[in-house]
A and B are shown apart, each in its own frame.
Chain A
């Protein structure tokens, strides 16, 4: 097991910051400031460097400050005795560039998983209320961080799926080409299915004790994996769907239709009334995600907590922090509008920390 941390960061034209340089504590960093001061931007900058993508902004051009033409992020990461300088450059009209110690990454997917990281934010509520794609992305994000083979299987599957849909949209649908793509898709689809299924059952095992610790109660929760591949092989399913696909001009069978149904005491999480209950569930979900990352990457993942007091009381916050600080041993970043509540907890617990006022 090795300790992973970020020592310092520099932001240039990133979101609301023209220029900002910060040094971080190895353990707990409290970023405090009023709304609109850019707290979230700082943790997003860390996320971008580690993951290669923003956690909060889907359209990359919105990461650029006002009307600047480029942005640059630089971070100094440390893993045991190894120092790594990661640089991310985004220029308008050009593809994003990531460098590790001055060496350019050829593909973004080569960067994913390099620095294990987990982010928890109020927007995680979309995992509960949004459509299935948000939940598939959560699964993919974790699997891509721990399994390179999964990353390339997913990349290949998505490319083949897009090609297949493009063939289906043509006036004349080339059957031989569709069959060719189906054969190619079989192996990545099956691999992705197996890995998702396996991960979810393991994840649930780790989830329960953490959930109990945060809520103080033992509640039966389930991650119910929904996949068309549970009842038939890819080969069978894609053959059966062929006619329907041809009429609807898109692919109706495959792992791109997967979903997870989260339940708590047998009722679907999205129907649970209490916001606090949903919040605790999501925290336990992310905490167990950290556990898996640590176990598989042999590194302590960095944790980013945005607006932790949103719908979570002080006792629960304490349980969460205690788990991450003590059990996982991660470097932590927390944002809050005021540092007082956090300072109280941190002092009581004697956590090594640093406060950054914006």
Chain B
């Protein structure tokens, strides 16, 4: 596609580098933005600028945050004895959206898979263990995908924590949990996080 303006062409390229945005959608967005009011464009630029300059990773739970400690971790009404372990921030948002969970989170950044070059040291596992040892945590809720690699990750963490007095539970499976928490509807996900199951493998290892 050729444009009369290189600025438009650059904007289209920038948009089409985003996931699930093709050339056509990118062009639609660019043309739409070009025609928008100055204020609207300023707002977008400001949001993006903050995303680049000010967004941080929470040093407690490793979710995105505006401050060194995120708003969930610093909320005094949250149950500090309860930590929900998730693979990524999308899963955190899915659980948070149910409104049924009042504990804290820990974002691992994936699951263990040496085949894909992801070892325990590449994930926030040591920080999790440290966090549990330093704080009075009495329950760990594992909300990882029910794949064999997800299970390895749960087993592994379980092994590291075998001498720590702590209850480990998993969220009830069988929910529409086919790999992606994101797609589970809020009702089932909400119910499953309330009726989580004690982790039966704990004694095995």
A residues with a Cβ closer than 8 A to B are 106, 156, 159-160, 162-163, 166-167, 170, 174, 176-177, 179-181, 183-184
Contact = CB atoms under 8 A, between A and B. Distances in A.
Interface in B167-205: 178, 204-205
A106 B156 CA distance: 28
A163 B149 CA distance: 9
Which among A166, A179, A180, A181 has the highest number of chain B CB atoms within 10 Å?
Answer: A180
Nearest to B205: A183
B189 to A, nearest CB: 20
Given A163-B152, A183-B204, A170 B159 contact: no
B114 A156 contact: no
B152 A180 contact: yes
A176 B160 contact: yes
Contact of B148 (A106, A166, A170, A184): A184
Nearest to A157: B148
Nearest to B156: A180
B114 A170 contact: yes
B113 to A, nearest CB: 7
Contacts of A170: 114, 119
Nearest to A167: B114
A160 B114 contact: no
Contacts of A160: 148, 152
Contact of A181 (B152, B160, B204): B152
B103 interface: no
Nearest to A181: B152
Contact of B159 (A159, A166, A179): A179
A156 B119 CA distance: 19
B85 interface: no
A170 B115 CA distance: 10
A180 B115 CA distance: 15
Interface string B125-156: 00000000000000000000000110110011
Binding site of A, secondary structure by majority: helix, strand, loop or mixed?
Answer: helix
B114 A180 contact: no
A167 B121 CA distance: 12
Contacts, number: 46
3 nearest A-B residue pairs (beta carbon): A166-B114, A180-B155, A180-B156
A183 B159 CA distance: 11
Q: Which one of A160, A162, A177, A181 has the greatest number of beta carbons of chain B within 10 Å?
A: A177
Given A159-B148, A174-B119, A177-B120, A184 B155 contact: yes
B112 interface: yes
18 contacts: A159-B148, A159-B149, A163-B112, A163-B113, A163-B114, A163-B115, A163-B152, A166-B114, A166-B115, A167-B119, A176-B159, A177-B156, A179-B159, A180-B155, A181-B152, A183-B155, A184-B148, A184-B155
Nearest to A183: B205
A184 B151 contact: yes
Nearest to B178: A106
Contacts of A174: 119-120
Contacts of B151: 184
Given A167-B114, A179-B205, 18 more contacts: A106-B178, A162-B115, A163-B112, A163-B115, A163-B149, A170-B119, A176-B159, A177-B112, A177-B114, A177-B119, A177-B120, A177-B152, A180-B156, A180-B205, A181-B152, A183-B155, A183-B204, A183-B205
Contacts of B115: 162-163, 166
Interface string B93-109: 00000000000000000
Contacts of B148: 156, 159-160, 184
Contacts of A184: 148, 151-152, 155
A222 to B, nearest CB: 36
A184 B158 CA distance: 13
A181 B148 CA distance: 10
A166 B152 CA distance: 14
B164 to A, nearest CB: 15
Nearest to A168: B114
Contacts of B114: 163, 166-167, 170, 177
B90 to A, nearest CB: 20
A260 B112 CA distance: 35
Contacts of B204: 183
